[in-house]
C-alpha cells in the first residue's frame, strides 16, 4: 500500500491520576463513535473526527475489558467474569455473571449476517451460546477450552488457542472441521477475510516464549494451505484485515510500529513494492488496535491510557454511511443582564468538583509596593549634591504629618455556613425549592465552598487541608441556636463545641470516648452513688452518655471543664488555658500534661471508693510474691488495669547494696529521643519506644538504709501490658519533630496489577500499597524475662511466633487514635484528634474507619493522613495504641450495672438552715417513673460573665460572644398520677464561681438563695441536680416546658426530641418567621 498514514490526534483518560491501560478498541460501524475499554472496567465512547467524549460508564466492576463488539442495538463488552450489553447511551440491556463465566477472553457472532446469537469463550471448559434478544445463555459447546481469539467466516468459526492451534468449527454443529498448528506457543491475534486467514503469535525456544517475526498466511477454501508469510521484524502482535480490500492486512507491534501490506504481492518476490513502516510516538506499549469500516482511519491504545488516531487523508470518513447520533438536550443559558454596576455574583458559579484555577493559595499572591511620590520639579532644579547625596530647600508646598501607606493585613476567609435564619429566609423567598431524597427542602447553607467538598489530590497531606483549620462559632442576634453546626458534621459522631475556657481538652476527650474500656467504666460509675462533689470520672461518664446519644449533634464539655478548673493542681501544672492565647502557647505540652493529670485523678477517685474489680486477665499479680512489700499491695485500680504499664522498679544503693523493689503503673510513655550527636535517621519508632519503656540509669536518691543520698542504680522491668497504650510524643524541639517528618512515607507505590485490574474506589479504602510509615500502624511487644522485644508488624505479613504466645507475655498493638497540634500561619495553634472508630460503631464497613475530630467539625479522613507527618503544619502530641485482643482479655461483668435511684427518693441539701415545710414532695418508691412518664420542668440561670459585643461603623451591634450562664434553680413537677401538679424536685444550685448577674428580673434568684449560710431553700451541688435529670432522662420520662432546647443546652444535657414537648413549637405562629 502506498498510502501515507499520519497521526491526526491523541486523547487520554481525563482522570490522569487514575489512568489505566487501554485494553479494547472498536470503531462503531453504525455511528461516528470510537469505543474504548480500559483495565479498570470502564467503557468510554468518543464522537466525530475531534473525538469529543460522548458517553462513559463503568461496565464491569474493577475487571479488565477484554473485547468490545458493536451491533445495531447496542454495545457488548466482556470481562473475565461477566458479559454485558448496553445501548449507546449507557443503559443496561442485560448482564450475565454466574458460575459459567469464570475466565472469558473473546466473543463473536455465529455468522456474518445473523447477530441474534453470540459465542463467548475463554480459558474455561465450555463455550457459551447467548441469545442476545433474551440476554441469557441458551446452550454450551463442550471441549472448547483455552480459546483466546475468535473470528467468524461465512460457514465456520476460527478459534485460536493458547497452544498456538487454530480450529475451524462448523457454524451449525460447532464441530471441528480443520486444525492448523500456526505457532509452537501461544497465539496473540488472528483475523480472516474471505478465504484468507492470518495469524501471529509466539514460538517456544529454549524454554522461553519468543515473538514470531512472521505473520502466518493460510488459504482455507478446502484443506488449509500455507501461503507466503509476511515478515515483520519488530514482532507482530495485532492484526486487522482491510474491510474493502480482501488481501490487505494491517500489522502492528507492541513497540508502536505498524504496516499496511498486501498478502497477494508477497508472491511477487523481488518485484513486490517495498514495505512502508509507520511509528506511533508513544511513551508506553501498544495494547489494542482497530480499523474503521471505511479503512480511512486507525486507532491505537497504549498502556498509559492514551488513544492515537491515524488517517491517510485530511478529509477522512469513519464509516461510508453513518446513522445520526442522539445528542444531549441543549441547556439554555440564563439571561444575565450585566451593566457597569452589576455585581459579579449575579452570574453564579458552575458546579465543580475540583479546585478552580482562580483559587490561588496565599503564597501565590505577593504584595506590590506603592509607586514613589512625585518630586516637585522646583526641588529637582534647586537640588545640590555632595558626593552622592542631594539636598534642596523645602518649597513649603507639602502637607504635614504624612505617614507611609501600609497595606492592611487580612486573614484568609474561612468557609463558614450561613445562619439558620438566613437559610430559612432564602427558602421562603425562593420560588424554586429543591427537595432532597426525604422530600425535605435542600440547600447548601454556604457562604463559600463547603469544608472538604473538593477532592484532595494530596494523599499525604503535605499542605494543610481546610478541614484542619481552626473552627469558630459565629453568633447572630438569635444567639448560638442560629449557628448551623450540621454544616461541619455529616456523620453520626458528635463533636464538641469551642468558646469554652480550656476547650483545648476536646481532642483528648474525643479520643478517650472511643477507648471502650474507659467508656464502660465511666458510664458504670455514674450508676453508683458517688459522694464526691467534684468528680472528674462522674463528669466523664455524663459526657460520654451525651456523645453516645448525640447521633451527630454537637455537644459541650462545659460541666467537665468547669469541674476540672476547680482543681488547684491544674493551675499549678499550667493546665488552665490563658484568657487570650497567643502563638507562644504550647498546646502540645499542655495536652500531654493534662492527659497524665487526668488519668492520675481518675485513678485516685475510683481507688478511694475501694471498688477495684479485676477486669483484665493480662495482669501479672503473682510474680512478686517473694517480695513482702509488693505482695501486700492492694489490687490495681480499674484505671491502672486499662492504661497502666505494670512495671517493676528495682533500685540498688551503690553504698550499702541495699535493694528495693516496688510495682508501679505508669499511664503514659514519654518518648525519649537520642542526642544530637547520634544518628537519628537510622532509629526506628519501635527502637525509640523500647528505650523509653525499658531503662537502666544512675541517679542520686535517698537510701533508707544509709540514711543519706547515695548513687542508685535504677532498673525498670515491664511485667504486664495494658489494653490501651498511651504515648506522649515529647516532640517539643525542632530536631525531635524533624525525625517524625524525615522518616515519613514517600509518594505512594502502586501494587502490581492483577488479572482483574487495579482497584478503583472513592470511599477512602486503601487501593494502593504505601511505603511503610515511620509510625507503625501495628507493632508487637514480647516480654522476654527482664527484657522486652518490640517489632513493627506490617499488615499482610506473617506474625512471628513469639507474638502469638500467652497474653501475659506478649501483645499486638494497632494504632487507634492520635492528637495533633495544628500550626497555622496566622492563627494560634490548636489541637485535633484523629480516631479510628471501632468496627462495631462504624457507619459503613467498606470505607475508611478514620475520622477527624476538630472540635465540632467531624469528617472521615484517609489512613495516609494519619500515618504521615511530613507536613510541617502538624506536630504529633499523643498516640494511642489498642491491643487487638483487648475484647478477649477484658471482662466488665464485675462493674456496677444496676442504677442506684435512691437520689430521687431523698431530699438532700447542703444548706445550714434547710426549709422546714418545702413546697415540693420527693418521689416515693411507688411513684418510680417509667418510659413515657410526663413531667414538667422549668429552670432558672445566672450569668457568670457578660456578653461581648461590638458596635459596627453603621451603628449596629454585633454579638461576639454571649454571656456564660449556669444553672441556678431547677424544678420538676409531676405531670400525671394522683399528685399531678405537685413538684418533686425544687433544687437551688450552689456555685463556687463568681456570679456577675443573678438576672433577678427574670429568674427571681437573689445572692442569698445560693449561699449555704443564708439560703432558705433546698441547696445542692450542680452534680446532684444534674444526676437527677440524667436519671429521669434514662428512665424515659417526657419533659414538658417552654424553650427547653435552650434550657437543656445550658444545663449541658442532651435530650432526644421524642422526649420533649416544647410549648414553643406547639404555640408557634407560622406567619412570624425569624
Q: Tell me the binding residues.
A: 938, 940, 1047
Q: Which residue has the cell 477450552?
A: 145
Residue ranges for the known binding site for a divalent metal cation are 938, 940, 1047
Query: Are 419 and 483 a contacting pair, CB within 8 Å?
Result: yes
How many DSSP H helices and E strands does the chain contain? 18, 53
**How many Å apart are CA 652 and CA 834, to the nearest integer?**
43
| Number of C-beta neighbours around residue 618 at 10 A | 22
Distance CA 801, CA 260 (A): 63
Q: 598 by DSSP, 3-state: which?
A: helix
Which cell is 1005 given?
434568684
Helix (H, G, I), strand (E, B) or coil at 519: helix
From the list 337, 555, 504, 529, the residue with the least C-alpha distance to 1054 is 555
Beta strands in 347-469 (DSSP E): 384-386, 389-391
Residue 706's SS3 state is coil
Residue 793 to residues 242, 745, 1060, Cα–Cα distance (Å): 58, 16, 51
Whose grid coordinates read 501461544? 186
Alpha carbons within 13 A on the beta-carbon side of 577 = 24
Counting every residue written for the chain, the total comes to 1074
Q: How far apart are CA 1030 and CA 1055, in angstroms?
A: 9
Which residues, in sequence order, are CB contacts of 399 under 8 Å at separation 6+?
A: none
- Cβ proximity of 216 and 183 under 8 Å: yes
Q: Residue 500: which residues within 8 A CB-CB, separation 6 or more?
A: 556, 557, 558, 561
What is the DSSP track for 1001-1031? Answer: HHH---GGGG-TTT--S-EE-HHHHHHHHHH
Q: What span, in angstroms and rounded, lies between the C-alpha atoms of 957 and 622?
A: 69
Angle, vertex CA 717, rays to CA 713 and CA 723, nearest 5: 150
Residue 374 has which C-alpha cell? Answer: 512625585
Radius of gyration of the chain (CA): 39
Cα separation, 586 vs 584, whole angstroms: 6
Strands 297-302 and 286-291: antiparallel
Longest pairwise C-alpha distance within the chain: 128
Q: How far is CA 521 from CA 374, 517, 797, 929, in A?
A: 76, 6, 35, 26
Q: Is 696 helix (H, G, I), strand (E, B) or coil?
A: strand
Opening angle at CA 876, ends 536 and 826, nearest 5: 100
Within 8 A by CB and 6+ apart from 1071, the residues are none
Q: State how far the Cα of 707 lies from the Cα of 712, in Å rounded to an integer.
A: 13
Going from the C-alpha of 1005 to that of each of 605, 687, 920, 963, 1044, the distances in angstroms are: 33, 62, 18, 17, 19
Closest CA relative to residue 672, chosen from 644, 653, 696, 708: 696
Bridge partners, 96 (sequence order): 83
Run of H or E including 604? helix 587-608
Amino acid at each position: 500500500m502506498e498510502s501515507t498514514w499520519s497521526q491526526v490526534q491523541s486523547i487520554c483518560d481525563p482522570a490522569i491520576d487514575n489512568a489505566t491501560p487501554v485494553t479494547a478498541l472498536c470503531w462503531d460501524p453504525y455511528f461516528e463513535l470510537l469505543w474504548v475499554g480500559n483495565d479498570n472496567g470502564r467503557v468510554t465512547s468518543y464522537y466525530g473526527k475531534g473525538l469529543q467524549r460522548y458517553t462513559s460508564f463503568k461496565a464491569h466492576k474493577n475487571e479488565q475489558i477484554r473485547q468490545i463488539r458493536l451491533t445495531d442495538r447496542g454495545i457488548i463488552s466482556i470481562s473475565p467474569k461477566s458479559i454485558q450489553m448496553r445501548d449507546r447511551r449507557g443503559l443496561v440491556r442485560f448482564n450475565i455473571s454466574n458460575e459459567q463465566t469464570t475466565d472469558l477472553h473473546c466473543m463473536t457472532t455465529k455468522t456474518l449476517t445473523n447477530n441474534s446469537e453470540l459465542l463467548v469463550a475463554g480459558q474455561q471448559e465450555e463455550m457459551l451460546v447467548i441469545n442476545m434478544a433474551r440476554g441469557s445463555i441458551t446452550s454450551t459447546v463442550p471441549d472448547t477450552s483455552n480459546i483466546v481469539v475468535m473470528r467468524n467466516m461465512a460457514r465456520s468459526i476460527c478459534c485460536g488457542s493458547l497452544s498456538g492451534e487454530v480450529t475451524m468449527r462448523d457454524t451449525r454443529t460447532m464441530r471441528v472441521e480443520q486444525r492448523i498448528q500456526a505457532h509452537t506457543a501461544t497465539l496473540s491475534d488472528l483475523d480472516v477475510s474471505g478465504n484468507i486467514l492470518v495469524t501471529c503469535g509466539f514460538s517456544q525456544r529454549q524454554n522461553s516464549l519468543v515473538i514470531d517475526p512472521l505473520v502466518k498466511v493460510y488459504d482455507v477454501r478446502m484443506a488449509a494451505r500455507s501461503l507466503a508469510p509476511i515478515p515483520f521484524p519488530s514482532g507482530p502482535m495485532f492484526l486487522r484485515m482491510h474491510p474493502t480490500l480482501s488481501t490487505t492486512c494491517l500489522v502492528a507491534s507492541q513497540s508502536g510500529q505498524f504496516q499496511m501490506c498486501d498478502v497477494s504481492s508477497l508472491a511477487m518476490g523481488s518485484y513486490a513494492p517495498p514495505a512502508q513502516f509507520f511509528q506511533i510516538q508513544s511513551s508506553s506499549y501498544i495494547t489494542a488496535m482497530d480499523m474503521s469500516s471505511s479503512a480511512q482511519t486507525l486507532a491505537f491504545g497504549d498502556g498509559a491510557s492514551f488513544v492515537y488516531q491515524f488517517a491517510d487523508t485530511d478529509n477522512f470518513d469513519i464509516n461510508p454511511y453513518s446513522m445520526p447520533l442522539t445528542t444531549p438536550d441543549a441547556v439554555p443559558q440564563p439571561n444575565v443582564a450585566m451593566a457597569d454596576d452589576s455585581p459579579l455574583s449575579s452570574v453564579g458559579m458552575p458546579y465543580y468538583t475540583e479546585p478552580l484555577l482562580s483559587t490561588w493559595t496565599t503564597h501565590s499572591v505577593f504584595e506590590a509596593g506603592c509607586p514613589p511620590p512625585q518630586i516637585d520639579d522646583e526641588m529637582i532644579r534647586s537640588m545640590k549634591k555632595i558626593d552622592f547625596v542631594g539636598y534642596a530647600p523645602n518649597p513649603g508646598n507639602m502637607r504635614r504629618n504624612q505617614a507611609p501607606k501600609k497595606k492592611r493585613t487580612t486573614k484568609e476567609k474561612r468557609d463558614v455556613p450561613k445562619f439558620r435564619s438566613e437559610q430559612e429566609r432564602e427558602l421562603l423567598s425562593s420560588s424554586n425549592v429543591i427537595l432532597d431524597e426525604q422530600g425535605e427542602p435542600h440547600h447548601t447553607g454556604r457562604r463559600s465552598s463547603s469544608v472538604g467538598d473538593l477532592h484532595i489530590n494530596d494523599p499525604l497531606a503535605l499542605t494543610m487541608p481546610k478541614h484542619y483549620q481552626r473552627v469558630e462559632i459565629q453568633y447572630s442576634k438569635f444567639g448560638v441556636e442560629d449557628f448551623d453546626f450540621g454544616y461541619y458534621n455529616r456523620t453520626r459522631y458528635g463533636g464538641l463545641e469551642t468558646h469554652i475556657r480550656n476547650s483545648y481538652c476536646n481532642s483528648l476527650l474525643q479520643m478517650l470516648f472511643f477507648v471502650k474500656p474507659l467508656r464502660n467504666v465511666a458510664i458504670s460509675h455514674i450508676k453508683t452513688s458517688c459522694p464526691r462533689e467534684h468528680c472528674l470520672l462522674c463528669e466523664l461518664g455524663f459526657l460520654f452518655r451525651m456523645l453516645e446519644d448525640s447521633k451527630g449533634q454537637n455537644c459541650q464539655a462545659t460541666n467537665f471543664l468547669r469541674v476540672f478548673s476547680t482543681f488547684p493542681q491544674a493551675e499549678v501544672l499550667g493546665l488552665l488555658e490563658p484568657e487570650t492565647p497567643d502563638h507562644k502557647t504550647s498546646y502540645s505540652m499542655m495536652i500531654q500534661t493534662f492527659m497524665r493529670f487526668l488519668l492520675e485523678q481518675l485513678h485516685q477517685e475510683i481507688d478511694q471508693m475501694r471498688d477495684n474489680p479485676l477486669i483484665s486477665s493480662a495482669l501479672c499479680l503473682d510474680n512478686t510474691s517473694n517480695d513482702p512489700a509488693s505482695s501486700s499491695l492492694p489490687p490495681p485500680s480499674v484505671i491502672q488495669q486499662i492504661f497502666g504499664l505494670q512495671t517493676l522498679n528495682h533500685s540498688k544503693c551503690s553504698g550499702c547494696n541495699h535493694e528495693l523493689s516496688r510495682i508501679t503503673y505508669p499511664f503514659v510513655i514519654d518518648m525519649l529521643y537520642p542526642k544530637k550527636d547520634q544518628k537519628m535517621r537510622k532509629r526506628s519508632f519501635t527502637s525509640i519506644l523500647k528505650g523509653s519503656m525499658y531503662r537502666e540509669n544512675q541517679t542520686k536518691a535517698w537510701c533508707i538504709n544509709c540514711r543519706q543520698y547515695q548513687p542508685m542504680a535504677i532498673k525498670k522491668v515491664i511485667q504486664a501490658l495494658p489494653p490501651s497504650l498511651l504515648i506522649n510524643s515529647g516532640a517539643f524541639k525542632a530536631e525531635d519533630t524533624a525525625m517524625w517528618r524525615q522518616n515519613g512515607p514517600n509518594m505512594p507505590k502502586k501494587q502490581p496489577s492483577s488479572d482483574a485490574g487495579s482497584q478503583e474506589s472513592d470511599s477512602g479504602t486503601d487501593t494502593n500499597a504505601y511505603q511503610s510509615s515511620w509510625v507503625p500502624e501495628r507493632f508487637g511487644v514480647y516480654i522476654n524475662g527482664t527484657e522486652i522485644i518490640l517489632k513493627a508488624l506490617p499488615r499482610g505479613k506473617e506474625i512471628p511466633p513469639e507474638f502469638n504466645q500467652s497474653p501475659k507475655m506478649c501483645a499486638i498493638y494497632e494504632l487507634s487514635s492520635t492528637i495533633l497540634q495544628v500550626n497555622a500561619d496566622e492563627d494560634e495553634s490548636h489541637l485535633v484528634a484523629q480516631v479510628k472508630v471501632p468496627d462495631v460503631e462504624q457507619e459503613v464497613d467498606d470505607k475508611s474507619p478514620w475520622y477527624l475530630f476538630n472540635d465540632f467539625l467531624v469528617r472521615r479522613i484517609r489512613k495516609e493522613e494519619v500515618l504521615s507527618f511530613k507536613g510541617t503544619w502538624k506536630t504529633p502530641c499523643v498516640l494511642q495504641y489498642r491491643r487487638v485482643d483487648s475484647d478477649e482479655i477484658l471482662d466488665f461483668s464485675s462493674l456496677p450495672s444496676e442504677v442506684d435511684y435512691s437520689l430521687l427518693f431523698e431530699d438532700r441539701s447542703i444548706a445550714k438552715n434547710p426549709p422546714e415545710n418545702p413546697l415540693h414532695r420527693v418521689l416515693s418508691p411507688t411513684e418510680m417513673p417509667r418510659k413515657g412518664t410526663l413531667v414538667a420542668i422549668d429552670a432558672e440561670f445566672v450569668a457568670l460573665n457578660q456578653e461581648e459585643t461590638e458596635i459596627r461603623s453603621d451603628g449596629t451591634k454585633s454579638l461576639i460572644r454571649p454571656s456564660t450562664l449556669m444553672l441556678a434553680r431547677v424544678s420538676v413537677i409531676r405531670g400525671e398520677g394522683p399528685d399531678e401538679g405537685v413538684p418533686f424536685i425544687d433544687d437551688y444550685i450552689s456555685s463556687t464561681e463568681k456570679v456577675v448577674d443573678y438576672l433577678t428580673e427574670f429568674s427571681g434568684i437573689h445572692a442569698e438563695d445560693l449561699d449555704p449560710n443564708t439560703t432558705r431553700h433546698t441547696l445542692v451541688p450542680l452534680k446532684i441536680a444534674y444526676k437527677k435529670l440524667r436519671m429521669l432522662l434514662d428512665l424515659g420520662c417526657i419533659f414538658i416546658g417552654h424553650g427547653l432546647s435552650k434550657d437543656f443546652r445550658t444545663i449541658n444535657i442532651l435530650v432526644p426530641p421524642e422526649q420533649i414537648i416544647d410549648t414553643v413549637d406547639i404555640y408557634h405562629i407560622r406567619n412570624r418567621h425569624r
